Amino acid sequence: MADIVILDEDNWEAEVLQSSLPVLVDCWADWCGPCRMMEPEIEALAEQEGDRLKVAKLDTDRHPILTQDFCEVDLLPTCLLFKGGTVVARLDGYHERGEILWEIEPHLKRRQEAWTPPTTSLSSEY
C-alpha cells in the first residue's frame, strides 16, 4: 500500500502547506458511511499516483480547527487538493477514483510516458 499521511496540527504545515508535491487531503470521519466507501478509492489513488501526488487523511472529529479554519468542510467526505499551500480543487461528497483524478489532473505534474514509435512495415508493396 502507498504511503498515506495522517494529518494533525503538528504536521499540517510541513505535510500540506510546504509540500513540494500537490497534496490531496481526504477529510473524513469514522461515523461517515460515504467516507468509508471512498477509503479504497483514496488508497488506490495514492498507489496509482504516488509519484505525482501526496495523499493525506484528516480526521475531522479529532481535528476540528484544521477542518474548519483551513479546509472549510461542511460536508463529508470532502477532498481538497493543495498546491503551493493553496486549495486549487475541491470535491464534496462521495467520488470514485476516476472522478477525483479527472478533477485534479490539471494540477499534477505531467506523466512521463515512454514514447514508442509506431511500427511500420518496410515491405516492397509499392
The answer to whether 101 touches 42, Cβ cutoff 8 Å, is: no
Which domains does the chain carry?
Answer: 4-107 (3.40.30.10)
Q: How far apart are alpha carbons 60 and 7 in whole angstroms?
A: 10
Q: What's this model's pTM, rounded to 2 decimal places?
A: 0.86
| Residue 104: CB atoms within 10 Å | 22
The pLDDT profile of the chain, 126 residues, written as one tens digit per residue, is 468 999 999 999 999 999 999 999 999 999 999 999 999 999 999 999 999 999 999 999 999 999 999 999 999 999 999 999 999 999 999 999 999 999 999 999 887 765 556 666 555 555
DSSP for residue 21: S
Residue positions annotated with a catalytic role? 32, 35
Radius of gyration, alpha carbons of the chain: 18
Displacement of CA 36 from its chain's centroid (Å)? 16
